[in-house]
């Protein structure tokens, strides 16, 4: 059962599509890759309907042929183009205000992302919000795989009671991670998956970060 946010001791934030508005960029980069290979391009609505974790499943749905180009090469191409333009992205409206409010309430905040950790750290520093987080946790590579294990490892290292954790994200995968680590979850339908997909999970789904203020 979802409690008021201030009743939790730890918040694990997702990054992409939750705090940073990068969906438009992901669609632009994917479409450049699709166009280069004469594959059908997609719009943001379609993107949110089919985007998935691990991201290799998403690439299969888009029609990429791994017998011609290994997934690792395609992922590298995406990442190089994506990070060339990433600094054009902006934090979602209300992001820093809600981070500050949570910090002032005494709740410990961390980032739990499927992004490569070294780049993740660099970008969070670029946006000037690193001081809000006690931990910034990402993966070792750029392949956007499952982040369940790094979540579990963090809880074990810090000796955190999972019932004291709430994960805030924008995808089905974030919900799955929250259940696997034993925590709770709030999903925000402003990122990489549609409201309709998220609502089927039966957890709290809100439209944007400012709405979180209603749950204090």
Q: What is the mean pLDDT of the chain?
A: 93
| DSSP 8-state symbol, 93 | T
Query: Do residues 77 and 31 lie in contact, with contact meaning Cβ atoms separated by under 8 Å?
Result: no
Counting beta carbons within 10 angstroms of the beta carbon of residue 161, is it exposed (0 to 12), middle (13 to 18) or buried (19 or more)? exposed
Segment 140-145 mean pLDDT: 57
Using alpha carbons, list the distances in angstroms from residue 161 to 25, 165, 203. 37, 7, 20
> Which tokens belong to 69?
């180009």
Q: How far apart are CA 63 and CA 74, in angstroms?
A: 12
Segment 20-26 mean pLDDT: 98
Tens-place pLDDT, residues 32-63: 999 999 999 999 999 999 999 889 999 999 99
Q: Residue 103 has what pLDDT?
A: 95
Q: How far apart are CA 101 and CA 95, in angstroms?
A: 10
Q: Residue 1 has what pLDDT?
A: 63
- pTM of structure: 0.92
CATH class assigned to 5-21+90-215: alpha beta
Q: How far apart are CA 34 and CA 201, in angstroms?
A: 31
Closest CA to 112 of 48, 61, 157, 67: 157
Segment 136-165 mean pLDDT: 81
Q: Residue 145 has what pLDDT?
A: 60
Q: Residue 85 has what pLDDT?
A: 97
Q: Residue 99 has what pLDDT?
A: 96
Tens-place pLDDT, residues 82-126: 999 999 999 999 999 999 999 999 999 999 998 889 999 999 999
Q: Is the pLDDT of residue 195 over 90?
A: yes
Q: How far apart are CA 160 and CA 176, in angstroms?
A: 18
> From its phi and psi, is residue 98 left (phi > 0), alpha (psi between -120 and 50) or beta?
alpha
**What are residue 165's phi and psi, to 5 degrees?**
-110, 135
Q: How confident is the model at residue 141 (pLDDT cuts 50, 70, 90)?
A: low
Q: Residue 151 has what pLDDT?
A: 86
């Amino acid at each position: 059962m979802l409690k008021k946010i201030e009743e939790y001791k730890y918040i694990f934030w997702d990054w992409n599509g939750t705090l940073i508005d990068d969906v438009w960029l992901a669609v632009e980069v994917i479409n450049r890759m699709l166009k280069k290979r004469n594959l059908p391009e997609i719009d943001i609505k379609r993107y949110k309907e089919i985007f998935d974790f691990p991201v290799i499943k998403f690439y299969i749905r888009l029609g990429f042929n791994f017998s011609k180009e290994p997934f690792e090469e395609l992922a590298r191409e995406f990442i190089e183009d994506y990070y060339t333009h990433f600094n054009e992205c902006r934090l979602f409206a209300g992001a820093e205000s809600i981070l500050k409010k949570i910090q002032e309430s005494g709740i410990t905040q961390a980032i739990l992302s499927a992004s490569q950790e070294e780049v993740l750290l660099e970008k969070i520093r670029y946006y000037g919000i690193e001081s809000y987080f006690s931990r910034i946790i990402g993966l070792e590579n750029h392949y956007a795989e499952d982040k369940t294990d790094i979540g579990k490892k963090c809880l074990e290292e810090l000796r955190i009671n999972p019932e004291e954790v709430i994960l805030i994200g924008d995808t089905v995968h974030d919900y799955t991670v929250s259940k696997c680590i034993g925590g709770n979850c709030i999903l925000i339908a402003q990122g990489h998956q549609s409201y309709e997909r998220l609502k089927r999970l039966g957890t709290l789904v809100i439209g944007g970060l400012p709405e979180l203020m209603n749950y204090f």
